[in-house]
Amino acid sequence: MDESVDFKMERGYSHSKQYSIIYEWEIDKISTFIEMSHCSYKPFILKSSKFSTGSSIGDSWYLQLTIEGGAEFMPLGAHLAVLAVKLISDIENKEIKAKYLIYMLNNKKEKFTTKFGTLNHPYSKPAYGQMITDPDYSDPDDKTDPFSNYINIEQLFKYKDTLLPNDTLTLCVDLTVYDDREVSSIAAISLKTPQHHLADYLKDLLDTGTKSDVVITVGDKKFQAHKLILGTRSPVFDAIFSHDMKEKKENEIEIPDVDPEIFKKLLEFIYTDKVSDLDDNAEELLEVADKYQLQLLKDMCTVSLSQTIDVENAIPIMLFADRNNVQQLIEYAEKFIIINFQKIKKTKEYEALETSHPSLFLAILKKCAAENKI
């Protein structure tokens, strides 16, 4: 006789969201601080600005650099002088689930973790570290050394050209914070069928030209497109197809002033809201996005440019933003220039700014003076 069996399957899930940040802290004139510590019987302490991963628990952190090895270490030997690096939470009485890696950047902006031991473990609220008084301590390369978060100053200066370019020490922390885990259970199996997103169908339309009703000639290339999609996304294309113009009658458009590859990426955005290799083409795409009034693409390019700004390209990016009236990018570039003024004023771009754009040159000087950066 057949027997029926009631079968129930239940599953439980524990999940937590993670938030990550890489924080970079540049400390210039580091040798001056080390020299100052030699005259003191107390540790010399520097603190970074505060930063956060943006997690839901409202985490707040800072790095603390302690120069230990002043006057009281001298009888034991200068080799005991060290830099101690700590990650400290600014939240009191709250358990934080996190992991982190502290490291240095060398003169090529590469991660440097080999010569002087670093920490890579779950975060716990550190007690104030006891200073090293063991005269046998000398080798920071020793993987068994319990003080692996200490950087031996004598060893550090042996590699100063690599690790202290322009007398600047750059410390970084790669930090991940986890939300409190949530536990849930379900009593049934949920089946999800593969979904093809609308953007995928529209990309297929663009790639195949299926049911296209307009041909766009850009340089030596022709693109088959769809008036409804172009006109819906861009007010400029909408005007072309709505008025009694040659392009409307002949279903052909000629665009002479845009690079074909850039226009291809413009169409990709119009059809899918995405752009491949955006960072490599941000300036050109921003200009063409402005021409066809695609504000979202313009904003994406603005974010991309702000993320790639550095000492060498800060002034060119500011000038580009000024030409294209991108106020948000202008302000961001100006702030970056003011913060890094001592380095940027040595670049050839800065030297040319006074002649090519005197009003911008004076504006930056005034703001630097106001913030005591000159």
The predicted-structure confidence for 46-69, as pLDDT tens digits, reads as follows 999 999 988 888 889 999 988 876
CA distances from 264 to 17, 156, 197, 225 (A): 37, 51, 21, 11
What is the C-alpha to C-alpha distance for residues 75 and 323, in angstroms, rounded to an integer?
63
The answer for residues whose C-beta is within 8 angstroms of residue 328's C-beta and 6 or more apart is 302
Task: Please provide the DSSP assignment of 278-324 as one string.
Answer: TGGGHHHHHHHHHHTT-HHHHHHHHHHHHHT--TTTHHHHHHHHHHT
DSSP-derived 3-state class of residue 326: coil
Identify the CA nearest to 225 among candidates 185, 184, 195, 269: 269
**73 confidence band (pLDDT: 50, 70, 90):** very low
First to last CA, the chain: 94
Classify burial at 286, counting beta carbons within 10 Å of its beta carbon; exposed 0-12, middle 13-18, buried 19 or more.
Answer: buried
Please compute the mean of the pLDDT values over residues 366-370 and round it to a whole number.
84
pTM for this prediction = 0.48
DSSP-derived 3-state class of residue 22: strand
Q: How many helices and strands (H and E) does the chain possess? A: 15, 14
Higher pLDDT, 234 or 36: 234
Q: What pLDDT does 80 receive?
A: 59
Between strands 61-68 and 44-47, the pairing is antiparallel
Q: What pLDDT does 315 receive?
A: 93
Of the listed ranges 21-35, 149-163, 282-296, 331-345, the least confidently predicted one is 149-163
What is the C-alpha to C-alpha distance for residues 180 and 18, in angstroms, rounded to an integer?
10
Identify the CA nearest to 315 among candidates 334, 294, 287: 334
What is the C-alpha to C-alpha distance for residues 49 and 73, in angstroms, rounded to an integer?
29
**364 confidence band (pLDDT: 50, 70, 90):** confident
Q: Tell me, what DSSP letter sits at residue 325? A: T
Does residue 14 surpass a pLDDT of 70? no
Q: What is the pLDDT of residues 196-222, one digit of tens each?
A: 678 888 888 888 888 999 999 999 999
What is the C-alpha to C-alpha distance for residues 122 and 47, in angstroms, rounded to an integer?
21
What is the C-alpha to C-alpha distance for residues 31 and 366, in angstroms, rounded to an integer?
30
DSSP-derived 3-state class of residue 371: coil
Task: Please provide the DSSP assignment of 109-135 as one string.
Answer: S-EE-SSS---EEE---PPPPPPP--T
**121 confidence band (pLDDT: 50, 70, 90):** very low
Q: What is the pLDDT of residues 151-189, one digit of tens each?
A: 778 888 888 898 899 999 999 988 988 876 655 554 444
Does residue 363 surpass a pLDDT of 50? yes
Place of tokens 């990650």: 87
